[in-house]
Amino acid sequence: MFDLNQLRCFVAVAEELHFGRAAARLNMTQPPLSRQVQILERILDVALFERTSRSVRLTPAGQSFLAEARRILKQAEGAALLARRVAAGQAGAIGIGFTATSAYSFLPDLVSACRRQLPDVTLVLREMVSGDQVESLASGQIDAGLLRPPVVQAGTANFRVAEERLMAAVPADHPLAAAPRLSLRDFAAAPFIMYAPHEARYFHDLVIELFARSGLLPDYVQHLSQIHSILALVRSGLGLSIVPEAALQLQIRGVVLRPLDLSTPRSAELYIAWRQDNDNPLLPLVLDIARDVAEQHRPTDASDASIDPAIELERHQSDR
């Protein structure tokens, strides 16, 4: 089989129609160039040039082979360039897992930042619960995951990218909807829409802990896994619930979200995790971008004091 060097020699002679000029173009002497072309002709078992003492012309076979030779060289150069860009983290693909709630706020900002800074990189996004993400990281199905803590898989590293306040979700026509802030005591005598213990384990355990510390046991009337489904049932008047601040992005009519006063501050945390032995060259770049986005998402004391997200949501809805 011929090699790329023989093709380059052939194309140079075919375009110059002169062995001397072709050799100069390739920064080589004429005898080695002539030998490469002769070897190529022997491999193909066909004459590519008609040679005389005064001229060099392509044969019909040479003319047809020239187009294919150019195509092969272009593909080879493209493959080499792609390999170098992938190795440099400028191209390729990276798999990212994410929970449904991370898609409300952090994930869109991360994806937008990646598209700006890594325009030729393909993001393969997979929605899955945190436990499934840990398994997918271990098996190499994803390169990184946006998930809820704790992340205890051996060989896995992580850092926090978002921390959200907890909000009380109340039907708009409920008496508690008029209160500017709520406490856990407000849930004591009310039906409560709870998180499923397996599909939404993080939020289930978080809410259980909150009520246990306060000595309360609400009336759990439903157990669901998705926040938008929980808010839909809150809107129906079936009960109250507690949701992360990212739920404000859903803007569900008929539901009021109020800041929740807690004796011991708690928040909903989101982490990005990855296997430490992952060799995808894009991973360090995406992690750096995630750190930048996380810094932008980090709340400040001033913003927490000056902006009430519930008021902002109600103002937005009243304008629609």
**Domain for residue 292, yes or no?**
yes
Which residue type, as a one-letter code, is found at position 131?
A: G
Q: Which residue has the tokens 């195509």?
A: 71
Domain ends where: 26, 58, 88?
88
Residues 273 and 150 in one domain: yes
Q: How much is the pTM?
A: 0.70
**Domain for residue 320, yes or no?**
no
Residues 112 and 198 in one domain: no
Residues 132 and 51 in one domain: no
Residues 175 and 137 in one domain: no
The pLDDT of residue 144 is above 90: yes
CA-to-CA dists, residue 218 to 214, 271, 310, angstroms: 11, 29, 23
Residues 74 and 22 in one domain: yes
Which residue type, as a one-letter code, is found at position 62?
A: G
Q: Which residue has the tokens 């896995």?
A: 156
Question: Mean of the pLDDT values across residues 217-231?
Answer: 93
**Domain for residue 314, yes or no?**
no
pLDDT digits over 167-184, tens only?
999 999 999 999 999 999
**Domain for residue 303, yes or no?**
no
Residues 98 and 222 in one domain: no
Sheet strands (E) in 130-229: 144-147, 156-171, 182-183, 191-195, 219-224
Residues 195 and 277 in one domain: no
pLDDT digits over 105-117, tens only?
899 999 999 999 9
**Domain for residue 66, yes or no?**
yes
**Domain for residue 315, yes or no?**
no
User: What CATH number corresponds to the domain at position 170?
Assistant: 3.40.190.10
Say if CB 225 and CB 233 are below 8 A apart.
Answer: no
Domain ends where: 243, 266, 289?
266
**Token duo for residue 277:** 């032995």
Phi, psi of 243 (to 5 degrees): -135, 160
Residues 30 and 156 in one domain: no
Q: What percent of the chain has pLDDT over 70?
A: 93
Q: Which of 149, 171, 167, 180 is nearest to 262 (CA)?
A: 167
Q: What percent of the chain has pLDDT over 90?
A: 71
Residues 139 and 206 in one domain: no
Say if CB 202 and CB 130 are below 8 A apart.
Answer: yes
**Domain for residue 313, yes or no?**
no
Domain that holds residue 155: 92-161+269-297
pLDDT confidence band for 299 (50 / 70 / 90): low
List, in sequence order, the alpha helices (H) in the chain: 4-16, 19-25, 30-44, 60-87, 106-117, 130-139, 201-213, 227-235, 282-297, 301-306, 309-319
**Domain for residue 317, yes or no?**
no
Residues 146 and 286 in one domain: yes
Which residue type, as a one-letter code, is found at position 20?
A: G
Residues 156 and 236 in one domain: no
Domain ends where: 37, 66, 88?
88
According to the model, what pLDDT value does residue 302 have? Answer: 34
User: What CATH number corresponds to the domain at position 82?
Assistant: 1.10.10.10
Residues 12 and 131 in one domain: no
CA-to-CA dists, residue 123 to 41, 221, 283, 286, 301, angstroms: 45, 39, 11, 10, 34
Please tell me the total count of domains within the chain: 3
